[in-house]
Structure 1
Amino acid sequence: MKFSGLSAFPLTPMTEEGIDVSSFAVLVQRLAAAGVDSIGALGSTGSYAYLTREERARVARLAVDNAGGVPVMVGIGSLRTRDVLAHAEDAQRAGASAVLLAPVSYQKLSADEVYGLFEAVTRNLSVPLCVYDNPGATRFEFSDELHGRIAALPNVRSIKIPGVPADLEDAKARVERLRALVPEQVTIGVSGDAFGARGLAAGCGVWFSVIGGLFPKTALAITRAAQRGDVEEALRLSARLQPLWDLFAKCGGSLRAVAAAAEMLGLVKGPCLPLPLKAIQGADRERLAQLIRELELA
């Protein structure tokens, strides 16, 4: 799998009884039809931490089966190395083109423990791995030195960083600092949708996107503008979405808002998140519906 362009992360719609198989298949098929560069199943937006091994294996198979040949990356994060290895095996058996690994923990991990995790996993992989740097969820902060050590391991091919500085020149400097520490074959990708355009403009090779998983045409327009070197247009298209980024921030992240949007658009049955998580309601939900219309997201 080549880590470049737009990697779109869909929801994993579910009830307390199990995965909403038909809705998930539709979400993945929409992404393939839109022409995204890759699909990220079982990322944070895919609620991987809330699923059993059997449910995760099923989602991985469904994603690959409905992706129409688009490369699928599957999240394998878990609390124990033993379980991460099991999820990696399941993802590879399902036909995943890559895996995504965050250092999930209950006890705070040390840098040596995180390195040991990635060392153990990469020894047992036959597909590329993307390092998922997500301190907001894992409470673990990677140093650039640790990224460099992990990036030298076999099969590591991308690093998913949590945003870039607000100033474009500062963003370029941040990407360049990390770029200097990792092998040439390892791409640097940006996450956090508000940072997507700026990250691509700063030299990131891929945007790992939540809105790409629900509104792929909107995210693709930003991505393709950046790829052809039209930085001004990419930043303009992203700035146009600032009210959406503001709503995400107000709601504590994008997951609950994107779940509400998918429900409102009839793409999934509500409620679609694993309890105790809930899609946004009330005034925030009404504001989201207004933005979907005004920004022509649907």
Structure 2
Amino acid sequence: MTATVERPTEPVTESSDAPVARRHRTPLGDVVLGIWGVAGLLFLFFPVLVIVAYSFNTGRQLQSWQGFGLDSYVNAFNNPTIVATIQVSLVAAAGSAVVSTVLGSFAGVALARRGGRWAVWLVALLGLAMVTPEIVNAVSLLPWFVTLGADWGLSIFNLGQVRLVIAHSLFACAVVTFIVRARMSGLNESLEEAAADLGAPPIQRFWTITFPLMRPAVISGALLSFTLSLDNTVLSSFVSVAGSTPWPVYVFASLRSTLRPEIAAMSTVMLLLTLAVLALVAIVLGRASRRTGDGSGLAQTLAGG
């Protein structure tokens, strides 16, 4: 008779490689903050979404919904008055972008590379230009333009486009200056000094070394200046003259009568144009950040980081 030996059974354990389901509980505070964030976004963008939705209204009045269609877009582009105001706004925005980019770029380079006691006063003046209410600038610019154009005989200041470009460039020039200054402050000057030691003249050093380094900030500043000029209503309403009415002033004047869906349709087009320009700014700064590895995105550049 053979004896059998029973071996103690080992408890079966789960393999360490097997996934173990775990329940993660979300704190109540995170849920509340998430709901609050969504509510804030809806509060900010719900009016814009309403305008976009009513731009497809086929009725004669904006606030009276009659049906869905593209009639408002067709009527807007076939309206010569609306098209003329859009052209005035685009030309003024392009001129403002050019003027503010040229002046702001050189001012930003000067502040970053050759700062001194005067730099503090210049930064203070630029900051004052950014925080001064638009109504104050508008009230002060109007008699100045009248004095230059009528009293002094400088007829160029009687042109509505010239007035719009100068007025819109006041704020945009300060924005471009701070963007370029932030960009140049984070870059080493050794390459420019090496080019100077090799005998490169100042103009050649600027175009071959300095300008390529500051190009992302210059492009971003120009695009932001363009978008800032498109929606400037207060300054435009004061300095514009007959025959050069920009789009924001036309919309503001239309409030006195019945708003039509054509205004919502063209406003939607301008909104898409602004979003496209801002997206291009983000792309330019993002590529520059990846190229230099300094992590300077749009917010960091505007803040001077």
TM range (shorter): under 0.3
Higher relative contact order (CA 8 A, sep 6+): 2
Q: Which has the higher helix share?
A: 2
With structure 2 as the length reference, what TM-score do the two structures score? 0.22
Q: Which has the higher strand share?
A: 1
Larger radius of gyration: 2
